[in-house]
Structure 1
Amino acid sequence: MGRGRSAGYDDQREMILARAGELFANRGYAATSMNQVAEACGLSKATLYHYYRDKYALLVQIAEGHVQRLHALVAEVEAEGLGPEPRLRRLIQRFVAEYADAQHAHRVLTEDVKFLEPEDAERVLGLEREVVAGMTRAVVAVRPDLAGEQMPKPLTMLLFGMINWMFTWMRPDRGLSHEAMAPIVADLFLGGLPAVKPPI
Protein backbone atom coordinates (compact mmCIF):
# COMPACT_ATOMS: atom_id res chain seq x y z
CA MET A 1 0.00 0.00 0.00
CA GLY A 2 1.35 3.45 -0.97
CA ARG A 3 2.39 5.95 1.64
CA GLY A 4 -0.25 8.66 2.21
CA ARG A 5 0.45 12.35 2.23
CA SER A 6 1.36 14.06 5.47
CA ALA A 7 -1.28 16.18 7.18
CA GLY A 8 0.47 19.40 6.19
CA TYR A 9 1.16 18.46 2.56
CA ASP A 10 -1.44 20.78 1.03
CA ASP A 11 -0.49 23.63 3.35
CA GLN A 12 3.13 23.22 2.34
CA ARG A 13 2.21 23.29 -1.35
CA GLU A 14 0.24 26.50 -0.84
CA MET A 15 3.13 28.08 1.05
CA ILE A 16 5.49 27.21 -1.79
CA LEU A 17 3.11 28.69 -4.36
CA ALA A 18 2.82 31.89 -2.33
CA ARG A 19 6.61 32.29 -2.01
CA ALA A 20 7.22 31.40 -5.66
CA GLY A 21 4.47 33.80 -6.76
CA GLU A 22 6.09 36.62 -4.81
CA LEU A 23 9.48 35.88 -6.37
CA PHE A 24 8.05 35.62 -9.90
CA ALA A 25 6.13 38.87 -9.39
CA ASN A 26 9.15 40.77 -8.10
CA ARG A 27 11.96 39.24 -10.16
CA GLY A 28 10.15 37.80 -13.14
CA TYR A 29 9.65 34.12 -13.90
CA ALA A 30 12.69 33.84 -16.16
CA ALA A 31 15.04 35.42 -13.62
CA THR A 32 13.94 33.21 -10.71
CA SER A 33 15.60 29.87 -10.00
CA MET A 34 14.38 26.87 -8.06
CA ASN A 35 17.28 27.48 -5.67
CA GLN A 36 15.83 30.91 -4.89
CA VAL A 37 12.35 29.45 -4.42
CA ALA A 38 13.72 26.80 -2.05
CA GLU A 39 15.61 29.44 -0.07
CA ALA A 40 12.54 31.68 0.18
CA CYS A 41 10.54 28.71 1.46
CA GLY A 42 13.18 27.61 3.96
CA LEU A 43 13.36 24.23 2.25
CA SER A 44 16.07 22.16 0.67
CA LYS A 45 15.95 21.92 -3.10
CA ALA A 46 15.28 18.19 -2.80
CA THR A 47 12.27 18.85 -0.57
CA LEU A 48 10.98 21.48 -3.00
CA TYR A 49 11.10 18.95 -5.84
CA HIS A 50 9.02 16.61 -3.70
CA TYR A 51 6.15 19.08 -4.06
CA TYR A 52 6.72 20.49 -7.56
CA ARG A 53 8.68 18.82 -10.34
CA ASP A 54 10.11 22.08 -11.73
CA LYS A 55 9.74 25.85 -11.98
CA TYR A 56 7.33 25.54 -14.89
CA ALA A 57 4.93 23.47 -12.78
CA LEU A 58 4.91 26.31 -10.26
CA LEU A 59 4.10 28.85 -12.98
CA VAL A 60 1.20 26.81 -14.32
CA GLN A 61 -0.26 26.24 -10.86
CA ILE A 62 0.03 29.91 -9.85
CA ALA A 63 -1.56 31.24 -13.05
CA GLU A 64 -4.23 28.58 -13.40
CA GLY A 65 -5.09 28.53 -9.71
CA HIS A 66 -5.64 32.29 -9.71
CA VAL A 67 -7.96 32.19 -12.73
CA GLN A 68 -9.84 29.19 -11.37
CA ARG A 69 -10.60 31.12 -8.18
CA LEU A 70 -11.89 34.08 -10.20
CA HIS A 71 -13.95 31.75 -12.39
CA ALA A 72 -15.52 30.13 -9.33
CA LEU A 73 -16.20 33.57 -7.86
CA VAL A 74 -18.22 34.60 -10.94
CA ALA A 75 -20.24 31.38 -10.81
CA GLU A 76 -20.96 31.82 -7.11
CA VAL A 77 -22.24 35.38 -7.56
CA GLU A 78 -24.36 34.44 -10.57
CA ALA A 79 -25.92 31.62 -8.53
CA GLU A 80 -27.06 34.13 -5.90
CA GLY A 81 -29.79 35.35 -8.27
CA LEU A 82 -29.33 39.04 -7.51
CA GLY A 83 -30.81 41.89 -9.52
CA PRO A 84 -28.62 43.66 -12.10
CA GLU A 85 -27.07 46.41 -9.95
CA PRO A 86 -26.66 44.33 -6.76
CA ARG A 87 -25.09 41.57 -8.83
CA LEU A 88 -22.52 43.92 -10.37
CA ARG A 89 -21.78 45.46 -6.98
CA ARG A 90 -21.33 42.00 -5.51
CA LEU A 91 -18.96 40.96 -8.28
CA ILE A 92 -16.88 44.10 -7.77
CA GLN A 93 -16.74 43.51 -4.02
CA ARG A 94 -15.71 39.87 -4.45
CA PHE A 95 -13.04 40.66 -7.05
CA VAL A 96 -11.51 43.45 -4.96
CA ALA A 97 -11.47 41.16 -1.91
CA GLU A 98 -9.84 38.35 -3.91
CA TYR A 99 -7.18 40.62 -5.35
CA ALA A 100 -6.31 41.93 -1.90
CA ASP A 101 -4.54 38.64 -1.20
CA ALA A 102 -3.61 37.68 -4.75
CA GLN A 103 -1.56 40.57 -6.08
CA HIS A 104 1.49 38.41 -6.75
CA ALA A 105 -0.51 35.73 -8.53
CA HIS A 106 -2.25 38.40 -10.58
CA ARG A 107 1.04 39.97 -11.64
CA VAL A 108 2.33 36.52 -12.62
CA LEU A 109 -0.82 35.92 -14.67
CA THR A 110 -0.54 39.23 -16.52
CA GLU A 111 3.22 39.29 -17.06
CA ASP A 112 4.43 35.67 -17.19
CA VAL A 113 1.62 33.92 -19.08
CA LYS A 114 3.83 34.31 -22.18
CA PHE A 115 6.05 31.56 -20.79
CA LEU A 116 3.24 28.99 -20.79
CA GLU A 117 3.26 26.20 -23.34
CA PRO A 118 0.46 26.58 -25.94
CA GLU A 119 -1.82 23.95 -24.40
CA ASP A 120 -1.48 25.40 -20.90
CA ALA A 121 -1.82 28.97 -22.19
CA GLU A 122 -5.03 28.15 -24.04
CA ARG A 123 -6.53 26.52 -20.95
CA VAL A 124 -5.63 29.43 -18.67
CA LEU A 125 -6.60 32.13 -21.16
CA GLY A 126 -9.83 30.27 -21.93
CA LEU A 127 -10.78 30.47 -18.27
CA GLU A 128 -9.77 34.12 -18.22
CA ARG A 129 -12.06 34.83 -21.19
CA GLU A 130 -14.93 33.17 -19.34
CA VAL A 131 -14.25 35.38 -16.31
CA VAL A 132 -14.39 38.48 -18.51
CA ALA A 133 -17.58 37.19 -20.14
CA GLY A 134 -19.17 36.77 -16.71
CA MET A 135 -18.40 40.36 -15.77
CA THR A 136 -19.63 41.52 -19.18
CA ARG A 137 -22.95 39.78 -18.60
CA ALA A 138 -23.31 41.71 -15.36
CA VAL A 139 -22.52 45.02 -17.07
CA VAL A 140 -25.04 44.33 -19.85
CA ALA A 141 -27.68 43.41 -17.28
CA VAL A 142 -27.40 46.98 -15.94
CA ARG A 143 -27.37 48.51 -19.44
CA PRO A 144 -29.30 46.02 -21.64
CA ASP A 145 -29.67 48.69 -24.32
CA LEU A 146 -25.94 48.27 -25.05
CA ALA A 147 -26.22 44.53 -25.64
CA GLY A 148 -26.15 44.84 -29.42
CA GLU A 149 -23.38 47.42 -29.46
CA GLN A 150 -19.60 47.09 -29.33
CA MET A 151 -19.48 48.72 -25.90
CA PRO A 152 -19.99 45.88 -23.35
CA LYS A 153 -16.47 44.39 -23.64
CA PRO A 154 -14.65 47.78 -23.54
CA LEU A 155 -16.75 48.85 -20.56
CA THR A 156 -15.91 45.60 -18.80
CA MET A 157 -12.20 46.06 -19.45
CA LEU A 158 -12.38 49.63 -18.10
CA LEU A 159 -13.92 48.20 -14.92
CA PHE A 160 -11.20 45.56 -14.67
CA GLY A 161 -8.67 48.34 -15.20
CA MET A 162 -9.87 49.97 -11.98
CA ILE A 163 -9.77 46.70 -10.05
CA ASN A 164 -6.79 44.85 -11.48
CA TRP A 165 -4.13 47.46 -10.80
CA MET A 166 -5.18 48.68 -7.38
CA PHE A 167 -2.22 46.84 -5.88
CA THR A 168 0.17 49.22 -7.66
CA TRP A 169 -0.98 52.19 -5.57
CA MET A 170 -3.07 50.84 -2.68
CA ARG A 171 -1.46 51.21 0.75
CA PRO A 172 -3.63 49.27 3.23
CA ASP A 173 -1.11 50.05 5.99
CA ARG A 174 -2.06 53.72 5.62
CA GLY A 175 -5.73 53.17 6.35
CA LEU A 176 -7.06 52.63 2.81
CA SER A 177 -8.35 49.07 2.78
CA HIS A 178 -9.63 46.98 -0.11
CA GLU A 179 -12.87 46.52 1.81
CA ALA A 180 -13.35 50.28 1.92
CA MET A 181 -12.42 50.75 -1.73
CA ALA A 182 -14.80 48.14 -3.19
CA PRO A 183 -18.01 50.23 -2.83
CA ILE A 184 -16.15 53.29 -4.12
CA VAL A 185 -15.19 51.42 -7.29
CA ALA A 186 -18.81 50.27 -7.63
CA ASP A 187 -20.14 53.80 -7.11
CA LEU A 188 -17.74 55.23 -9.69
CA PHE A 189 -18.57 52.65 -12.33
CA LEU A 190 -22.31 52.47 -11.73
CA GLY A 191 -22.52 56.22 -11.39
CA GLY A 192 -20.96 56.72 -14.80
CA LEU A 193 -22.49 53.75 -16.62
CA PRO A 194 -25.91 55.39 -17.17
CA ALA A 195 -24.23 58.29 -18.98
CA VAL A 196 -22.38 56.08 -21.47
CA LYS A 197 -23.43 56.56 -25.09
CA PRO A 198 -22.23 54.36 -27.94
CA PRO A 199 -19.80 56.21 -30.22
CA ILE A 200 -21.37 57.47 -33.42
Structure 2
Amino acid sequence: MSNHVLPNGDDPRVPSGDWPTTLARHRAKWRERIVEAAMQLIAERGLAHVSMSLLAERAGVSRATLYHYFSNLDHVLVAWVELQVDRFVSEVAQLAAGEPNPQARLSLVISRLADYFGSREHRLGLEQLGSVAMAPATARAVAERMGPLMDLVASCLRAGQREGSFRGDLDPEVHAALILGLLGAIRPHLASGRYSSSGAAAAVSSLVLHGVVSAEPRLGAPASQRAADHPGTAAPTRASSTGPEEGHGG
Protein backbone atom coordinates (compact mmCIF):
# COMPACT_ATOMS: atom_id res chain seq x y z
CA MET A 1 0.00 0.00 0.00
CA SER A 2 1.34 3.45 -0.89
CA ASN A 3 0.93 6.23 1.63
CA HIS A 4 0.59 9.25 -0.61
CA VAL A 5 -0.42 11.69 2.11
CA LEU A 6 1.21 12.19 5.46
CA PRO A 7 -0.93 11.73 8.59
CA ASN A 8 -1.13 15.48 9.14
CA GLY A 9 -2.46 15.96 5.61
CA ASP A 10 0.75 17.57 4.25
CA ASP A 11 2.37 16.07 1.18
CA PRO A 12 5.96 17.11 0.35
CA ARG A 13 5.12 16.77 -3.35
CA VAL A 14 2.52 19.53 -3.26
CA PRO A 15 3.86 22.32 -5.50
CA SER A 16 4.86 25.56 -3.83
CA GLY A 17 3.15 28.86 -4.49
CA ASP A 18 -0.08 29.99 -2.90
CA TRP A 19 0.30 27.39 -0.19
CA PRO A 20 -3.11 27.67 1.57
CA THR A 21 -5.02 27.50 -1.72
CA THR A 22 -2.85 24.74 -3.14
CA LEU A 23 -3.10 22.69 0.02
CA ALA A 24 -6.88 23.12 0.19
CA ARG A 25 -7.23 21.89 -3.39
CA HIS A 26 -4.89 19.01 -2.69
CA ARG A 27 -6.90 17.92 0.34
CA ALA A 28 -10.18 18.27 -1.55
CA LYS A 29 -8.77 16.03 -4.29
CA TRP A 30 -7.79 13.33 -1.82
CA ARG A 31 -11.08 13.62 0.04
CA GLU A 32 -12.94 13.05 -3.22
CA ARG A 33 -10.67 10.13 -4.08
CA ILE A 34 -11.42 8.47 -0.73
CA VAL A 35 -15.18 8.95 -1.18
CA GLU A 36 -15.12 7.47 -4.68
CA ALA A 37 -13.05 4.51 -3.47
CA ALA A 38 -15.59 3.94 -0.70
CA MET A 39 -18.52 3.91 -3.11
CA GLN A 40 -16.70 1.44 -5.39
CA LEU A 41 -16.10 -0.90 -2.46
CA ILE A 42 -19.69 -0.58 -1.27
CA ALA A 43 -20.96 -1.40 -4.77
CA GLU A 44 -18.73 -4.48 -4.88
CA ARG A 45 -19.12 -5.81 -1.35
CA GLY A 46 -21.97 -4.04 0.40
CA LEU A 47 -21.54 -1.62 3.26
CA ALA A 48 -21.47 -4.32 5.94
CA HIS A 49 -18.33 -5.82 4.38
CA VAL A 50 -16.32 -2.62 4.01
CA SER A 51 -13.91 -1.58 6.74
CA MET A 52 -11.84 1.53 7.17
CA SER A 53 -8.69 -0.56 6.68
CA LEU A 54 -10.01 -1.87 3.38
CA LEU A 55 -10.96 1.65 2.32
CA ALA A 56 -7.49 2.99 3.14
CA GLU A 57 -5.95 0.27 0.99
CA ARG A 58 -8.28 0.92 -1.96
CA ALA A 59 -7.78 4.71 -1.77
CA GLY A 60 -4.00 4.36 -1.48
CA VAL A 61 -3.62 6.18 1.83
CA SER A 62 -2.51 5.21 5.31
CA ARG A 63 -5.13 4.51 7.98
CA ALA A 64 -3.91 7.56 9.87
CA THR A 65 -4.49 9.73 6.83
CA LEU A 66 -7.93 8.21 6.27
CA TYR A 67 -8.96 9.04 9.83
CA HIS A 68 -7.65 12.56 9.30
CA TYR A 69 -10.38 12.98 6.67
CA PHE A 70 -13.18 10.74 7.97
CA SER A 71 -13.82 9.22 11.38
CA ASN A 72 -16.06 6.44 10.04
CA LEU A 73 -17.92 5.16 6.98
CA ASP A 74 -21.06 6.99 8.03
CA HIS A 75 -19.27 10.28 7.50
CA VAL A 76 -17.91 9.09 4.15
CA LEU A 77 -21.49 8.58 2.96
CA VAL A 78 -22.43 12.08 4.09
CA ALA A 79 -19.48 13.43 2.09
CA TRP A 80 -20.67 11.44 -0.92
CA VAL A 81 -24.07 13.17 -0.74
CA GLU A 82 -22.35 16.55 -0.57
CA LEU A 83 -20.13 15.84 -3.58
CA GLN A 84 -23.02 14.50 -5.66
CA VAL A 85 -25.29 17.43 -4.88
CA ASP A 86 -22.58 20.04 -5.51
CA ARG A 87 -21.74 18.55 -8.91
CA PHE A 88 -25.37 18.29 -9.93
CA VAL A 89 -26.35 21.79 -8.83
CA SER A 90 -23.34 23.36 -10.56
CA GLU A 91 -24.13 21.60 -13.84
CA VAL A 92 -27.89 22.17 -13.85
CA ALA A 93 -27.70 25.79 -12.68
CA GLN A 94 -25.63 26.58 -15.78
CA LEU A 95 -28.12 24.84 -18.06
CA ALA A 96 -31.09 26.53 -16.40
CA ALA A 97 -29.48 29.96 -16.73
CA GLY A 98 -29.49 29.53 -20.51
CA GLU A 99 -33.24 28.83 -20.70
CA PRO A 100 -35.23 32.10 -20.87
CA ASN A 101 -38.71 30.56 -20.56
CA PRO A 102 -39.66 30.01 -16.87
CA GLN A 103 -41.83 26.96 -17.54
CA ALA A 104 -39.20 25.35 -19.77
CA ARG A 105 -36.55 26.21 -17.16
CA LEU A 106 -38.48 24.46 -14.39
CA SER A 107 -39.19 21.46 -16.62
CA LEU A 108 -35.49 21.24 -17.46
CA VAL A 109 -34.54 21.20 -13.78
CA ILE A 110 -37.19 18.54 -13.03
CA SER A 111 -35.96 16.45 -15.95
CA ARG A 112 -32.36 16.58 -14.76
CA LEU A 113 -33.45 15.79 -11.22
CA ALA A 114 -35.28 12.71 -12.52
CA ASP A 115 -32.12 11.64 -14.36
CA TYR A 116 -30.11 12.19 -11.18
CA PHE A 117 -32.54 10.32 -8.91
CA GLY A 118 -32.76 7.47 -11.41
CA SER A 119 -29.01 7.00 -11.83
CA ARG A 120 -27.47 3.79 -10.50
CA GLU A 121 -24.87 5.67 -8.48
CA HIS A 122 -27.51 7.77 -6.74
CA ARG A 123 -29.69 4.74 -5.96
CA LEU A 124 -26.68 2.89 -4.58
CA GLY A 125 -25.83 5.75 -2.25
CA LEU A 126 -29.41 6.08 -1.04
CA GLU A 127 -29.64 2.36 -0.37
CA GLN A 128 -26.52 2.52 1.77
CA LEU A 129 -27.70 5.63 3.59
CA GLY A 130 -30.96 3.85 4.31
CA SER A 131 -29.12 0.83 5.68
CA VAL A 132 -27.06 2.84 8.16
CA ALA A 133 -28.36 3.44 11.66
CA MET A 134 -27.20 7.03 11.62
CA ALA A 135 -26.96 9.18 14.67
CA PRO A 136 -29.42 12.13 14.66
CA ALA A 137 -26.57 14.59 14.03
CA THR A 138 -25.44 12.61 10.99
CA ALA A 139 -28.98 12.36 9.64
CA ARG A 140 -29.28 16.14 9.96
CA ALA A 141 -25.98 16.53 8.13
CA VAL A 142 -27.32 14.47 5.21
CA ALA A 143 -30.49 16.58 5.10
CA GLU A 144 -28.45 19.79 5.13
CA ARG A 145 -26.33 18.57 2.20
CA MET A 146 -29.54 18.28 0.16
CA GLY A 147 -30.24 21.99 0.72
CA PRO A 148 -28.70 23.19 -2.57
CA LEU A 149 -31.18 21.03 -4.51
CA MET A 150 -34.03 22.74 -2.69
CA ASP A 151 -32.49 26.16 -3.36
CA LEU A 152 -32.12 25.38 -7.06
CA VAL A 153 -35.81 24.52 -7.50
CA ALA A 154 -36.94 27.43 -5.30
CA SER A 155 -34.86 29.87 -7.35
CA CYS A 156 -36.62 28.68 -10.53
CA LEU A 157 -39.99 29.31 -8.90
CA ARG A 158 -39.01 32.77 -7.65
CA ALA A 159 -37.71 33.73 -11.11
CA GLY A 160 -40.97 32.58 -12.67
CA GLN A 161 -42.92 34.70 -10.19
CA ARG A 162 -40.84 37.77 -10.98
CA GLU A 163 -41.37 37.22 -14.69
CA GLY A 164 -45.13 36.79 -14.23
CA SER A 165 -45.36 33.18 -15.37
CA PHE A 166 -45.98 31.53 -12.00
CA ARG A 167 -48.64 32.28 -9.44
CA GLY A 168 -47.79 35.10 -7.12
CA ASP A 169 -49.14 33.30 -4.06
CA LEU A 170 -46.69 30.41 -4.28
CA ASP A 171 -44.26 29.83 -1.44
CA PRO A 172 -41.07 28.93 -3.37
CA GLU A 173 -39.46 27.04 -0.49
CA VAL A 174 -42.57 25.00 0.30
CA HIS A 175 -43.34 24.23 -3.33
CA ALA A 176 -39.70 23.31 -3.99
CA ALA A 177 -39.97 20.79 -1.15
CA LEU A 178 -43.18 19.43 -2.68
CA ILE A 179 -41.52 19.01 -6.08
CA LEU A 180 -38.58 17.15 -4.56
CA GLY A 181 -41.07 15.08 -2.58
CA LEU A 182 -42.85 14.09 -5.79
CA LEU A 183 -39.57 13.03 -7.35
CA GLY A 184 -38.67 11.12 -4.22
CA ALA A 185 -42.03 9.34 -4.29
CA ILE A 186 -41.52 8.25 -7.90
CA ARG A 187 -37.97 7.02 -7.23
CA PRO A 188 -39.04 3.38 -6.52
CA HIS A 189 -40.74 3.28 -9.92
CA LEU A 190 -37.50 4.45 -11.53
CA ALA A 191 -35.59 1.70 -9.74
CA SER A 192 -38.12 -0.97 -10.77
CA GLY A 193 -38.12 0.14 -14.41
CA ARG A 194 -41.81 1.05 -14.42
CA TYR A 195 -40.82 4.61 -15.32
CA SER A 196 -37.91 5.87 -17.35
CA SER A 197 -36.34 9.08 -16.12
CA SER A 198 -37.97 10.94 -19.01
CA GLY A 199 -41.35 9.44 -18.18
CA ALA A 200 -40.99 10.37 -14.53
CA ALA A 201 -39.96 13.91 -15.46
CA ALA A 202 -42.97 14.27 -17.76
CA ALA A 203 -45.37 13.03 -15.08
CA VAL A 204 -43.99 15.34 -12.40
CA SER A 205 -43.68 18.34 -14.75
CA SER A 206 -47.27 17.95 -15.92
CA LEU A 207 -48.59 17.79 -12.38
CA VAL A 208 -46.42 20.66 -11.14
CA LEU A 209 -46.96 23.05 -14.03
CA HIS A 210 -50.73 22.68 -13.84
CA GLY A 211 -50.47 23.84 -10.25
CA VAL A 212 -47.93 26.66 -10.46
CA VAL A 213 -48.60 28.33 -13.81
CA SER A 214 -50.73 31.43 -13.56
CA ALA A 215 -53.87 31.48 -15.69
CA GLU A 216 -54.84 35.04 -14.85
CA PRO A 217 -54.68 37.91 -17.37
CA ARG A 218 -52.14 39.67 -15.16
CA LEU A 219 -49.72 36.83 -14.57
CA GLY A 220 -48.28 36.63 -11.10
CA ALA A 221 -50.48 39.37 -9.62
CA PRO A 222 -51.70 38.74 -6.06
CA ALA A 223 -55.35 37.77 -5.56
CA SER A 224 -56.31 41.17 -4.16
CA GLN A 225 -54.93 42.93 -7.25
CA ARG A 226 -56.70 40.50 -9.60
CA ALA A 227 -60.00 41.19 -7.82
CA ALA A 228 -59.43 44.93 -8.25
CA ASP A 229 -58.70 44.45 -11.94
CA HIS A 230 -61.87 42.38 -12.43
CA PRO A 231 -64.54 43.80 -10.10
CA GLY A 232 -67.28 41.69 -11.63
CA THR A 233 -65.59 38.51 -10.44
CA ALA A 234 -66.11 37.63 -6.81
CA ALA A 235 -63.07 36.45 -4.90
CA PRO A 236 -63.30 32.83 -3.73
CA THR A 237 -64.37 32.44 -0.13
CA ARG A 238 -63.95 29.61 2.32
CA ALA A 239 -67.02 27.38 2.57
CA SER A 240 -69.03 27.77 5.75
CA SER A 241 -68.85 24.86 8.15
CA THR A 242 -72.32 25.53 9.57
CA GLY A 243 -74.35 24.80 6.43
CA PRO A 244 -77.38 26.79 5.12
CA GLU A 245 -79.02 29.21 7.48
CA GLU A 246 -82.22 27.82 8.85
CA GLY A 247 -85.44 29.80 8.54
CA HIS A 248 -87.07 31.37 11.58
CA GLY A 249 -90.32 30.18 12.92
CA GLY A 250 -91.60 27.27 14.87
Smaller-chain TM-score bracket: 0.5 to 0.7
* CA deviation after TM superposition for structure 1 residue 169, in Å: 3.4
What RMSD over aligned residues (CA atoms) do the two structures have, in Å?
4.2
Match of 1:177 among 171, 196, 208: 196
The 3 A distance-change label for structure 1 pair 15 and 99 is: farther
Classify the secondary structure of the residue corresponding to 1:82. coil
Aligned to 2:110: 92
- For residues 194 and 146 of structure 1, do their structure 2 counterparts lie closer, same or farther at Cα, with a shift above 3 Å needed? closer
Once the two structures are superposed, residues 103-124 of structure 1 have per-residue CA deviations (whole angstroms, 9 ceiling, x without a partner) of: 2334639x85845399xx39x8
Q: Which residue of 2 aligns with 1:28?
A: none
Q: Report what 1:68 is aligned to.
A: 86
Q: Which has the higher contact order (CA 8 A, sep 6+)?
A: 1
**What letter is aligned with 2:175?**
L
Deviations 1:89-148 (A, max 9, x none): 100011110111112334639x85845399xx39x82x533331221121233345655x
Q: For 1:181 and 1:61, how far apart are their aligned partners in 2?
A: 27
Shift of 1:59: 2.2
2:39 is aligned to 17
Deviation of the 1:56 alpha carbon: 4.3
Residue 60 of structure 2: aligned partner: 50
Secondary structure, aligned partner of 1:116: helix
* 1:26-71: CA deviation from partner (whole Å, max 9, x where unpaired): xxxxxx4xxx125xxxx95662463554424522321211221232
Name the CA shift for 1:81/1:169 in 2 (closer, same or farther; >3 Å): closer
Secondary structure at the aligned position of 1:169 is classed as: helix
Query: Aligned partners of 1:146, 1:173: CA distance in 2, in Å?
Result: 34
Q: Distance in 1 between matches of 2:178 and 2:188?
A: 16
Identity %: 17
Distance 1:132 1:2 in 2: 40
Q: Following superposition of structure 1 onto structure 2, how do residues 117-136 of structure 1 map, counting pairs within 5 Å? A: 121=141, 125=144, 128-136=146-154
Does 2:205 correspond to 1:186? yes
Give yes or no for contact 2:37–2:59 (8 Å, CA) kept in 1: no
Q: 1:164 to 1:19 in 2, by over 3 A?
A: farther
Q: 1:11 to 1:104 in 2, by over 3 A?
A: same
Q: 1:87, 1:68 → 2: CA distance?
A: 19
Could you say if the C-alpha distance between residues 67 and 13 of structure 1 is closer, same or farther in structure 2, counting changes exceeding 3 Å? closer
Native 8 Å contact 1:136 1:153 kept in 2 = yes
Q: List runs of 5+ in structure 2 lacking aligned partners.
A: 1-10, 15-29, 216-221, 224-236, 239-250
| CA–CA distance in structure 1, aligned partners of residues 116 and 139 of structure 2 | 26
* Larger relative helix fraction: 1
Q: TM-score normalized by structure 1?
A: 0.64
- The aligned residue for residue 159 of structure 1 is 179
- 1:105 is aligned, of 120, 125, 136, to 125
Structure 2 Cα separation of the partners of residues 180 and 113 of structure 1 = 36
Aligned residues: 176
Bigger radius of gyration among the two: 2
